[in-house]
Structure 1
Amino acid sequence: MSKPPLIFIIVLAIIAVLASRQFIKQRRENAANAASPVRLLLAEIKSKREFPAPNRRSRQREVIAGEEMRYEAWFHPLNGGSDIKLTVKASDYHQLDKGAKGELKVQGSRFISFTPVND
């Protein structure tokens, strides 16, 4: 029985290190969000977009029926400051209207809710 090639072992080690690093990064972000206070901001929905979630099996650009989608929205605070990009759930995404103003609730970098305010 021959030994596996050294390059194969190196590739497996790199994959393990990168996967561990990503896992630790996500855990830290979730812990930071949980420890952050809930903030309430007056904001305007600047833009929003939906796109296919990264899929390791497929590299094609076409949207396939039933494919998992990701949803993002950009909010512009009305009191000034830089735009905030947040990942939102599909149900929240479809209720957001570009240009709407309202109260944005966030906890760290986690979207909680957006309540439109009528002018």
Structure 2
Amino acid sequence: MESKKITFIVNPSSSNGATGKQWPRIRAKARDRLGPFRTLITTGRGDATQLARRAILSGDDIIVSVGGDGTFNEVINGVLNEEGLLEPGVLLGFIPRGTGCDLAKSIPIQRDLDRALDNILTRQTRRID
């Protein structure tokens, strides 16, 4: 499988701050499974949109949102423009860490970290609108 540039966009405040506390463990497991990747940490509302756009413009191939529905929504807004994806072929991953994570329930997306990482590793995709 060819090497891809991966960026994780992490909202440490999601799940009432549990994501920030769990991030070192999540990061270590993700590095073991996926190899090297860049981590960008949000600090406030709207950050994930800007960070996702920066990742796309720097040539990243896979953007992984680590947080809840709001974080994922911001990441989506960062990789889209009026015509669709800013960069065709970019994949979005989601490690659901929000309190409710309605998106993960409705699609369904695995809340289990190992399964979520497997989906990213195998580039298992699903269209959503």
**Same fold? TM cut 0.5:** no
The structure number with the bigger radius of gyration is: 1
TM-score, structure 1 length as denominator? 0.22
Point out the structure with the larger strand share: 1
